[in-house]
Amino acid sequence: MISLWKKITYSCLCVFFSASMLNAKTLTVVFPFCPQDLSIQASELYEGLKNMSLEGLRIDSISKVGTFNSIIELNDDSARLDLKKFSQKRKTDYVLFTELSHSVGQINIEYKLYSLENNSFIATSFDSSFYNSIHLSAKTIAKQLSLILQSKIIKISNVVALGDSSLNQITVNFEAYGDSSSYAILRSLLREGPYDTIATITSTTYTDTDVQPGIVYWYKVQALQDSYAIDTSMPVSAYVVPENKENLDLDKVLSQYKKPEEKPQDEEQKSLIKAHIDMIQPQYMNSVKLRIIMQIVKSYISKGQLTVLKDFDAVVMDIENFTIYFIKKNSYVVRLESKKPFELLLGSNCDVRLLQRLLLNAIAFGAQDGTIEITDDEGYTAQLPLYQSIGIATTYFKEYKNWAGNTILWSTSNKEIKAKMKEYSNQ
């Protein structure tokens, strides 16, 4: 028989427990949005979130909410109405959505926390994880939610990255709200990552001196609490504009033109060279006229109005716009608008080898005009100085000793550049 004291104590405990359960709020965890090949990682994250232990919170779970298939769909105005109806029907106070996506060697993780009371999302965060470390992400999200639901919100905002070409460095500034013990600075060459932690700081500014001019760097800032990333900013980018130290003297450049004709390796190459030269010979500039033009160009160069540019690593042809881009890796880009090279291309039955050879052997004369963004096949981006070219001079044989009688000149067809050069000539 249970004693009267034990009965009273037992009754009080039951009443206390019942009151606690009534006061507890409910968080519904939704199975992560993800591509099919990340379903295993999504299941692991889902299990970790379902088993969270958050003070004053009961964890509920569900495989799907309505017709939502991605986090981006939750941003529509109509989504809030659907979420409100869902939350009221399920009697849940919060709904946690997560989404997994591929990055380079990692998984991107985004989550959004909906509040019925606010009828809005009260937290959004971005993170990344290695494929075998998803369980750690569940712990991080639990730590974040614990602070958020205790109104101990820590947020990173107004992140700005600025490149300084004079000091060859990038400074990252940001604002922080809440009590964070420290901040992690993350950097990547790709917006999507992966990101590496390059510094952990306690202030709200960081200067990155390990940068290469022209390369675009992406930065994120994380607020840390007990070594957990509580909030991660959206990525921002910056770069240091490379200084083109190439200030070539035209006379010195031409004095290097001492090479003989290329000797063909076999009869096939001999026939090809002859066919190419026969094709371009009608475009050779008269040697007297060429020297006069070079003297005029030299006057522009001496005034700092033009720069001599050569030894390009690659050329890109935009046939639709009759434009050619000459690229010197990590240094600069030269842009020439001219129909002449493309007329040669058509006249040679689209012999790209001939045109590419002439373009890579060229000397370009250009004026700097801001920067241009270059993205390679792997997605890496660079911002390089852009030169608008008034024209190029080229020979079939690189740095050919008989250049004076074997040079092709292709001038710009851009009316604005022509007008600018006319303006220079009157100065």
Q: Is the pLDDT of residue 103 over 70?
A: yes
Average pLDDT, rounded, for the chain: 87
Residues with Cβ within 8 Å of 159's Cβ and at least 6 positions away in sequence, in order, are 172, 173, 174, 219, 220, 221, 233, 234, 236
CATH code of the domain in which 118 resides: 3.40.50.10070
Q: Which residue among 101, 133, 152 closes a domain?
A: 152
Q: Which residue among 213, 240, 267 closes a domain?
A: 240
By residue range, what is the domain housing residue 58?
21-152
Q: Which residue among 152, 183, 207 closes a domain?
A: 152
Which one has a higher pLDDT value, 80 or 12? 80
Instruction: Give the pLDDT confidence of 220-270 residue by residue, as tens digits.
Output: 999 888 777 878 888 999 999 887 766 788 889 989 999 999 888 999 999
Q: Is the pLDDT of residue 9 over 80?
A: no
d(CA 224, CA 206): 16
What pLDDT does 420 receive? Answer: 80
Which one has a higher pLDDT value, 224 or 325? 325
What pLDDT does 227 receive? Answer: 77
Mean pLDDT of 308-324: 94
307 — pLDDT class (breaks 50, 70, 90): very high
| Domain assignment of residue 13, yes or no | no
Same domain, 146 and 158: no
Same domain, 419 and 291: yes
Report the interhelical angle of 352-360 vs 267-280 (nearest 10°).
70
Same domain, 126 and 186: no
Same domain, 359 and 212: no
What pLDDT does 427 receive? Answer: 63
407 — pLDDT class (breaks 50, 70, 90): very high
Least confident of 137-151, 281-295, 313-327: 137-151
The pTM assigned to this predicted structure is 0.67
Same domain, 209 and 280: no
d(CA 274, CA 254): 25
Same domain, 275 and 409: yes
**132 in Cβ contact with 207 (< 8 Å):** no
Single-letter amino acid code for the residue at 338: S
Same domain, 297 and 412: yes
154 — pLDDT class (breaks 50, 70, 90): confident
| Domain assignment of residue 416, yes or no | yes
What pLDDT does 225 receive? Answer: 81
Q: Is the pLDDT of residue 349 over 70?
A: yes
What pLDDT does 23 receive? Answer: 61
Which one has a higher pLDDT value, 124 or 253? 253
| Domain assignment of residue 10, yes or no | no
Same domain, 232 and 262: no
What pLDDT does 2 receive? Answer: 47
Q: Is the pLDDT of residue 16 over 70?
A: no
19 — pLDDT class (breaks 50, 70, 90): very low
Same domain, 213 and 314: no
Same domain, 36 and 169: no
Same domain, 223 and 362: no
Domain count, the chain: 3
| Domain assignment of residue 362, yes or no | yes
Mean pLDDT of 28-36: 94
CATH code of the domain in which 209 resides: 2.60.40.10
Same domain, 260 and 327: yes
Q: Is the pLDDT of residue 196 over 80?
A: yes
Instruction: Give the pLDDT confidence of 34-88 residue by residue, as tens digits.
Output: 999 999 999 999 999 999 888 888 999 999 998 899 998 998 888 989 999 999 9
| Domain assignment of residue 223, yes or no | yes
| Domain assignment of residue 11, yes or no | no
Ramachandran angles phi, psi of 224, nearest 5°: -110, 140
Least confident of 60-74, 117-131, 171-185, 393-407: 117-131
| Domain assignment of residue 8, yes or no | no
